[in-house]
Amino acid sequence: MDSIKQVVILAGGKGTRMREMTEDLPKPMVPVGGIPVLDHLISIYEKYDNFEYLICSGYLGEIIRNHYETKKNVKVVDTGLETNTGGRLLKLKELLDENFMITYGDGLANVNIAKLINFHKSQKTIGTLTVTNPVSRFGLVEFDENRKVNKFIEKPILSGFINIGFMIFNKKFLEYLDNDSILESEPLHNLSIDSELSAYTHNGYFEPMDTYREYLNMNKLWEMGNPPWMKDE
């Protein structure tokens, strides 16, 4: 397998759950410490190598395009306002390398990109996604058979795994897509049925910017210095 030098970033959604921040900004351009979250995401990859970036824009995409217009290794592609994630990827068909990475433009994690790539190569599957055990948003209460509370557990790590992005695919994956595909639904499901999807386990920091609370937390972590998404896994 050739070296993997291309990163696709999905950055076209409207970010409706963060309307207070995304009325005039695409969500990947919301600032963390005065720097767009999209720049933080690219910095994660740049720790490991020099990559080419294809950014799938949509909602207020001209803001993203203007931000990166002088960056020679970043190409912003308008993939439509209402296009689903799988359809956005399919629109890049003529630009994609034989093997490429893809992730979401609003989630940060200190994934070891070098280890992820090596894992993908060793698995020899069409696709690899990165998974982690999420931290519960709520504390848990335990009680005995008599309904007497005996333990409080503050926001435990849950036992199941979630897909956090930081995926790698061979171009054969495009055969599983159509213009209306939702990447995380039927395409990945069918890839797993064909035993062509692997899971790389990440045990470090992960946080999506899905809510205003997460936006505030990311900024708090930045202000504390040495943000966790830039620490070694």
**Has residue 41 been placed in a domain?**
yes
The domain in which residue 26 lies consists of: 6-133+160-230
Share of the chain above pLDDT 90, in %: 81
81-105 burial: b if 16+ Cβ within 10 Å, else e: eebbbbbbbbbbeeebbebbbbbbb
Domain-located, residue 95:
yes
**Tens digits of per-residue pLDDT, 157-209?**
777 899 999 999 999 999 999 999 999 999 999 999 999 999 999 999 999 99
- How does pLDDT run across 6-39, given as a tens digit for each residue? 999 999 998 888 888 899 999 999 999 999 999 9
Instruction: Tell me if 91 is assigned to some domain.
Output: yes
Residue 228 near residue 202 (C-beta atoms within 8 A): no
Does some domain include residue 119?
A: yes
Total domains present in the chain = 1
What percentage of the chain has pLDDT greater than the value 70?
97
- Write out 70-81 in H/E/C secondary structure: CCCCEEEEECCC
CATH number, residue 82:
3.90.550.10
